[in-house]
């Protein structure tokens, strides 16, 4: 019996020996990180237990607040919408400059570096900067989302342009098209479905972002949620949360539905 | 000159496209009017941006060395992201196994875990951090807890889809020789999904660094909080130094996570 157990144990150690070192390293790192974060699990349970009253309040939204929340909710949607559409338009321009089959290498590389640098800036940092320049309000929010959209979609669209079959562009060139015609019929037309589905994807993301950006100063439903929370008006905060959930859910459904439609209609759109 | 196969749209398609385009334009104009968004302001008020840049430059890099709390904040942000990825990712893996059809036979459990996962996905991170700040107080611990939840929401469903997309044939083969469900999970499904789980967790870490910076503003601590403070008290030269530091942090984490991920995938594929 003991023989059996031993012979079972040895290969176990040999089999998992290779995993042992990384796991031990991870645990050690986690210990250190937990110390830096000041993680105290007892505090979490005490805190959650101590805040049952306010958590219960969060589960009972204040129904009369929904009327006031319609306008902020629309503001959030529109910030995301306008930010995404203008951002897509701008990112198209940047993408044309960042595609190796359209732009000379030095332009392509510098535009790509610019887009990469933009992606390294979280939208919320851009918004902090813009709020300092333009003041609070949807203006800064729209601009922050536009800039964020350019960094993300610019690269995606440029990659899509670089994957276009060169024969398509050459054949349009061969019948004597001008440069603008090449761009419209040889570049934008073939990838239009992917551009639209990127934009829809980004719209979903922008809706989520507009909630956070709202709290920092772009206004909208995020600001209402934040203000209600800070003023300990938990009933109102719960209503704002419900409205936000509805927005996120609907935008996801809408974008999924449109994307599926574009996929089935295919080249026609 | 005309090549109907490429360029010319049918009248119906043309009409559809024109309708979609003009509807979008009308919607954007209506949205701008509703919000009071005036694009013209961008031209007339551009000097504010220039002024701000002027008051921000040159960035005050001395701050990064002089102020000891900055280094600690960077460490806090990285720790938050790391622990959020580790714990959140671990819980996401567990819930993914509980919500995938080929690993969890009980339908009720699948429905419950799926609902919880989609709830964690749609609840805005702003709300999560506010609740945790209220529960455990300001600081990176609250940020870390919020990151755990957002990681579960983002990656739980993805992991569950990865599990469901594994090849069914090997599992059936092992079942047919009398293996238990546990053995199938351990010897068939787990080896198939582990590489993509780990690769996705590297990506999650990269994502969490960004989110951690945002959460810092709402009381999560770390470099985001420092930046917010500097902007709020109008120390713009400090703020620019912190913005550049943030960019370096994000680019570095992206490069490291990409490098580790591709190296990891190469090693596992070669094995």
Structure tokens at A9: 């144990």
**B157 with B118: CB under 8 angstroms?**
yes
pLDDT at A1: 40
Name the H helices within chain B: 11-35, 40-44, 46-56, 62-66, 68-99, 107-122, 125-136, 140-164, 168-176, 181-184, 190-215, 223-232, 236-270
Confidence of residue A40 (pLDDT cuts 50, 70, 90): confident
**Domain limits of chain B?**
1-37, 62-270
Pick the residue of A125, A183, A267 with the most B CBs within 10 A to test the interface with B by mutation.
A125
A223/A68 Cα distance (integer angstroms): 13
What would the pLDDT profile of B148-175 be if each residue is shown by its tens digit? 999 999 899 999 999 999 888 989 999 9
For B62-270, which CATH superfamily applies?
A: MetI-like (1.10.3720.10)
Contacts of A93 (CB under 8 A, 6+ apart): none
Confidence of residue B1 (pLDDT cuts 50, 70, 90): very low
Q: Cβ contacts (< 8 Å) between A232 and chain B: which residues?
A: none
**Burial class of residue A247 (count of CB atoms within 10 Å of its CB; 0-12, 13-18, 19+):** buried
**Burial class of residue A162 (count of CB atoms within 10 Å of its CB; 0-12, 13-18, 19+):** middle
Place of tokens 């059936």: B172
**A142 with A149: CB under 8 angstroms?**
no
CATH of A64-264, one of 1.20.58.100, 1.10.3720.10, 3.40.50.2300, 3.50.50.60: 1.10.3720.10
Q: Cβ contacts (< 8 Å) between B157 and chain A: which residues?
A: none
- CB within 8 Å: A133 and B130: no
- B42, pLDDT greater than 60: yes
A260: contact with B, CB 8 A cutoff = no
Place of tokens 């919880």: B116
**A87 with A150: CB under 8 angstroms?**
yes
What share of residues in chain A are helix, strand, coil (percent, to 5)?
A: 85, 0, 15
- A3, pLDDT greater than 60: no
Torsion angles phi and psi, residue B33, rounded to 5: -65, -40
- A2, pLDDT greater than 60: no
**A98 with A108: CB under 8 angstroms?**
yes
More confident residue, B254 or A40: B254
DSSP B177-205: TT--HHHHIIIIIHHHHHHHHHHHHHHHH
pLDDT at B162: 93
What predicted TM-score, i.e. pTM, was given to this entire model?
0.85
A38/B144 Cα distance (integer angstroms): 10
| Cβ-based contacts under 8 A for chains A and B | 180
- The whole-chain average pLDDT of chain B stands at 87
A214/A223 Cα distance (integer angstroms): 5
Confidence of residue A102 (pLDDT cuts 50, 70, 90): confident
What would the pLDDT profile of B191-205 be if each residue is shown by its tens digit? 889 888 998 999 999
- CB within 8 Å: A121 and B214: no
- The residue among A113, A112, A148, A114 whose CA lies nearest residue A128 is A148
Mind telling me how many Å the CA of A128 is from chain B's nearest CA?
Answer: 7
Q: Cβ contacts (< 8 Å) between B197 and chain A: which residues?
A: none
Q: Cβ contacts (< 8 Å) between A122 and chain B: which residues?
A: 210, 213-214, 246, 250
A239, B91, B119, B121, B149 from B115: Cα distances, Å: 20, 15, 6, 10, 14
Q: Mean pLDDT across the stretch A171-192?
A: 86
B83: contact with A, CB 8 A cutoff = yes
Q: What is the dihedral of CA A138, A142, A144, A145, to 10 degrees?
A: 130
- What whole-number percentage of chain B has pLDDT above 70? 95
Tell me, what's the ipTM? 0.84
What would the pLDDT profile of A103-154 be if each residue is shown by its tens digit? 889 999 999 999 999 989 989 999 988 888 888 888 899 999 999 999 999 9
- The residue among B187, B55, B21 whose CA lies nearest residue A188 is B21
Contacts of B198 (CB under 8 A, 6+ apart): B264
């Amino acid at each position: 019996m003991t023989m059996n157990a031993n012979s079972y144990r040895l290969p176990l150690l040999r089999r998992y020996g290779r995993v042992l070192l990384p796991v031990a390293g991870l645990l050690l790192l986690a210990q250190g990180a937990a110390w830096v974060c000041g993680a105290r699990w007892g505090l979490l349970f005490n805190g959650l237990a101590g805040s049952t009253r306010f958590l219960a309040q969060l589960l009972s939204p204040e129904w009369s607040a929904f009327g006031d929340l319609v306008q902020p909710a629309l503001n959030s949607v529109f910030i995301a919408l306008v930010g995404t559409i203008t951002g897509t338009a701008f990112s198209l321009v940047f993408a044309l400059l960042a595609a190796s089959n359209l732009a000379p290498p030095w332009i392509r590389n510098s535009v790509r570096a610019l887009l990469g640098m933009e992606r390294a800036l979280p939208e919320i940092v851009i918004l902090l900067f813009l709020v300092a320049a333009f003041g609070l309000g949807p203006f800064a929010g729209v601009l922050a989302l536009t800039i964020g959209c350019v960094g993300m979609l610019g690269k995606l669209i440029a990659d899509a342009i670089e994957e276009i079959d060169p024969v398509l562009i050459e054949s349009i060139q061969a019948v004597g098209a001008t440069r603008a015609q090449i761009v419209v019929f040889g570049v934008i037309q073939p990838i239009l479905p992917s551009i639209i589905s990127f934009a829809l994807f980004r719209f979903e993301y922008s809706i989520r972002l507009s909630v956070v950006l709202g709290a920092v100063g772009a206004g909208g439903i995020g600001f209402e949620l934040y203000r209600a929370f800070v003023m300990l008006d938990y009933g109102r905060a719960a209503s704002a949360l419900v409205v936000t959930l509805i927005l996120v859910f609907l935008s996801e459904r809408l974008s999924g539905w449109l994307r599926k439609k574009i996929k089935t209609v295919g080249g026609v759109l | 000159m005309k090549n109907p196969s490429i360029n010319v749209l049918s009248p119906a398609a043309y009409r559809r496209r024109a309708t979609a385009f003009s509807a979008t334009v009308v919607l954007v104009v209506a949205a701008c009017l509703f919000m009071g968004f005036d694009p013209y302001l961008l031209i007339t008020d551009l000097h504010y941006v220039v002024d701000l840049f002027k008051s921000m430059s040159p960035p005050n890099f001395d701050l990064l060395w002089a102020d000891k709390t900055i280094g600690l904040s960077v460490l806090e942000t990285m720790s938050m992201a790391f622990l959020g990825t580790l714990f959140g990712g671990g819980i996401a893996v567990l819930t993914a196994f509980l919500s995938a059809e080929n690993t969890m036979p009980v339908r009720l459990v699948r429905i419950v875990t799926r609902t919880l996962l989609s709830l964690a996905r749609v609840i805005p991170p702003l709300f999560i951090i506010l609740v945790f700040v209220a529960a455990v107080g300001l600081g990176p611990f609250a940020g870390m807890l919020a990151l755990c939840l957002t990681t579960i929401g983002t990656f739980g469903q993805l992991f569950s889809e990865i599990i469901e997309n594994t090849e069914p044939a090997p599992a059936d083969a092992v079942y047919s020789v009398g293996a238990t469900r546990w053995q199938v999970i351990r010897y068939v499904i787990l080896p198939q999904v582990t590489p993509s789980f780990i690769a996705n967790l590297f990506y999650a870490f990269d994502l969490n660094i960004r989110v951690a910076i945002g959460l810092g503003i709402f009381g999560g601590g770390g470099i985001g909080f420092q930046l917010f403070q500097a902007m709020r008290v109008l120390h713009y030269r400090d703020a620019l130094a912190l913005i550049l530091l943030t960019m370096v942090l994000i680019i570095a984490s992206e490069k490291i996570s990409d490098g580790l991920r591709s190296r990891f995938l190469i090693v596992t594929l070669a094995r």
